[in-house]
Amino acid sequence: GGGGSRIKSEFLANMSHELRTPMNAITNFASMVLDGVCGDISDDVRDVVGEIDDNGERLLELINDVLDLSKIEAGAMQLERAPCDPAACVENAAGAMEHGAREKGLQLRTQIEEMPSLLADERRLTQHVLINLAKNAIKFTEAGSVEIGVRRDEGDVLFWVRDTGIGIAEADQERIFETFHQVDTSMTRQTEGTGLGLAIARKFVELHRGRIWVDSEEGVGSTFSFAIPAST
């Protein structure tokens, strides 16, 4: 963005970095207590220290997300582009989701069309886009399946994550890609999250000169797709 937003982004990036160090110490000390480094602990203490550890981890995730976003907005995020195999991105993302899918009794599928390598930041596409989308798919699906796929679509490589979950109302389908936008903001909502995942996914897709969108029907499911130009 402009000058003001750049300074704000740089401030946020520095701030996030400063926040991470003490937060890492807190979760590391909590883990040490849980691991018995300070001797045996009662179940009550285990519960409380476990909460400290879990909440610390969530805060670290949030800090990392804010740091990533501010770096991107400051124009300071450098992609590490190299030839990568789109099929491997899908397989790695699916591998990372196996446990989560199994825990919820969801079928996890991949659909892969073999194709030439793509010049892209494989780690960012896999971690920040595909895995983010797949985590959401599992989070918002109670029964059925999650499919991760890739195919050629004219000059693009088209990736998708399809679920049979709660779906997203038409009115929310654009806004969920904005920072902190969540459909359900009630205190009683069942799912955890920061509302930053899709904003970050969109930024990384756009850094690849691609685009991302969702097709969804409430109560039926959602398909998140993103297309990366094959020539970049």
Query: Interface residues with ligand ADP (CB under 6 A)?
Result: 136-137, 140, 163, 165-166, 168, 176, 181-184, 193-199, 222
Q: Quote the least distance from Cβ 83 to ligand ADP, whole Å.
A: 29
Nearer to ligand ADP, 49 or 197 (CB): 197
Where would I find the H helices in the chain? Answer: 3-34, 43-73, 86-103, 122-124, 132-139, 197-207
Q: Quote the least distance from Cβ 220 to ligand ADP, whole Å.
A: 11
Q: Which residue has the tokens 């849980």?
A: 34
Nearer to ligand ADP, 21 or 186 (CB): 186
Nearer to ligand ADP, 114 or 174 (CB): 174
Residues paired with 214 in a beta bridge: 224
Q: Quote the least distance from Cβ 217 to ligand ADP, whole Å.
A: 11
Nearer to ligand ADP, 48 or 207 (CB): 207
Please give the Cα distance from 197 to 69 (Å, whole number): 10
Tokens found for residue 182: 């969540």
Please give the Cα distance from 108 to 106 (Å, whole number): 6
Nearer to ligand ADP, 80 or 180 (CB): 180
Q: Which residue is nearest to ligand ADP (CB)?
A: 193
Q: Quote the least distance from Cβ 221 to ligand ADP, whole Å.
A: 8
Tokens found for residue 121: 């930041």
Q: Quote the least distance from Cβ 206 to ligand ADP, whole Å.
A: 15
Tokens found for residue 49: 């220290």
- Is the torsion defined by CA of 205, 87, 133, 154 positive or negative? positive
